[in-house]
Amino acid sequence: MSQYPDPERPVASLAPAELRRRFAADESVSLLDVRNRSEIEEWRLPGGDRNRAEIPYMKFVTAEANDAVADLVGDVTEPVVVVCGRGEASAYAASLLQGVGIEAVNLEGGMEGWAELYEATVVSEAPTVLRYDRPSSGCLAYLVVDGDEAAVVDPLRAFADRYVADAAARGADVRYAVDTHVHADHVSGVRALADRGAEPVVPAGAVDRGLEDPERFTLLPGDGELAVGGATLRTVPAPGHTSESVAYRVGGETGGDGERRGRADGVLLTGDSLFARRVPRPDLEAGAEGAADHARELHRTLTERFAPLPDDLQVGPGHYDPGDVLSENEGDGDGGDGPRLDRLGAIRERVAAFGTDREAFVEYVLDRTGERPANYERIVAVNLGRETADDETAFELELGPNNCAAG
């Protein structure tokens, strides 16, 4: 039962997907957040330069009693999207605004509804690569489909059924569930997909991180590969963010008929080893004491291990900044229509790390680590199998921004 009163009149709701569309289209939207300030500071909707107001719910209660609701929001530009944690307090506030003639809608499900939004977009063909985007945290995952087989890279536990259904819709079964590293910002879906018949795959170095049940997993070495239909996922060692991190190169190979498979030179699924505009933080595994050594290893990954890879290789990172809006025009692409990924060459030009000497890079990264992901130690323990969490707890643990990047 809700602790908030029922709205006095029917309240129009806005689905999270529609709000996301408006953000991406840069439509005029005013956000009115009725949560407490501490909740807002921990986690807010993206679009930092748009019109915002923060008015706690209890002020609406007081304003209603004093017939002063209109005065409370006098500076807010219409239309207004009202936001709270679960869509209950905001529904009541939106009804009060509507009652005084202000155009207001309630964000359906509140911030938890926003966290449940998960959108899939085809970003490459032959093999098919779907990018999954969770705008509440900036988490990205990928489904690789070729023939009747599929692999999910960096799956989220909360959406395990979604991957299976999307693969099935393309006539495929999920053969592999793959992590690029031991995640600290979300609960991995690899075990959940293993329960649904997939082969769970993690980097071999996860054992050194303390993987509780290594016998359950396929432990892929730095030069390993997985066959998915007629396509191949090949590991590229990518330590730095964590010691066991790897990237996966997908497609770009030549088939037996000599025909080039995949767009340009395929896709590099980098996990947290490289983002489109920033580099990962190096302190989550070894703490502040070991962060400098991890940063040096990350510099080697970017400037040496990735050096042989072609500029035309498309890059599919594990995150983007949730303060940004990942639109259909994200990435430099090749001028074609539809969603696309950045090319490695464009990222090399954009990200300063590629032109910075090692010690300057270390200093740069360590100065920009910022707040660590919420609950990251518990999430790592769950992903290693050292602790357990039911679905509801797991969902709550990963709410909020991922904070896995530096800068």
What's the pLDDT at 327?
45
Helices (H) and strands (E) in the chain, counts: 13, 20
Residue numbers of the chain with a pLDDT score lower than 70: 1-2, 47-50, 252-265, 321-340, 407
CATH of 13-114, one of 3.40.250.10, 3.30.1330.10, 3.20.20.70, 3.40.50.300: 3.40.250.10
Query: Would you tell me the crossing angle of helices 57-65 and 89-99 to the nearest 10 degrees?
Result: 40
48-93 per-position pLDDT tens digit: 556 889 999 999 999 998 999 988 888 788 889 999 999 999 999 9
- Length of the chain equals 407
CATH fold match for the domains 13-114 and 118-406 = no
- Look over the chain and give the mean of its residue pLDDT values, rounded to a whole number: 88
Edge-to-edge strand order for the sheet containing 267-271? Answer: 225-228, 231-237, 246-250, 267-271, 314-317, 342-343
- The whole-number pLDDT of residue 3 equals 75
- Asked if residue 135 has a cis previous peptide bond (ω within 30° of 0), the answer is no
User: Cβ distance 404 to 373 under 8 Å?
Assistant: yes
Long-range CB pairs of 385-390 (<8 Å, 24+ gap) are 385/191, 385/211, 385/212, 385/213, 386/210, 386/212, 389/187
The listed CATH number (3.20.20.70, 3.40.50.20, 3.60.15.10, 3.30.2130.30) that belongs to domain 118-406: 3.60.15.10
Q: What is the residue extent of each domain of the chain?
A: 13-114, 118-406
Task: Return the C-alpha torsion angle 336, 337, 343, 346, nearest 10.
Answer: 80
- Specify whether the CB–CB gap between 72 and 63 falls below 8 A: yes
Q: What is the pLDDT of residues 302-343, one digit of tens each?
A: 999 999 999 999 999 999 865 555 444 444 444 344 456 899
What pLDDT, on the 0 to 100 scale, is given for residue 55? 93
Q: Which of 295, 268, 271 is nearest to 281 (CA)?
A: 295
> DSSP for 107-128?
ETTHHHHHHH--EEEEEETTTE
Those residues whose C-beta lies under 8 Å from the C-beta of residue 262, and which sit 6 or more positions away, are 124, 125, 126, 127, 231, 250, 251, 252, 253
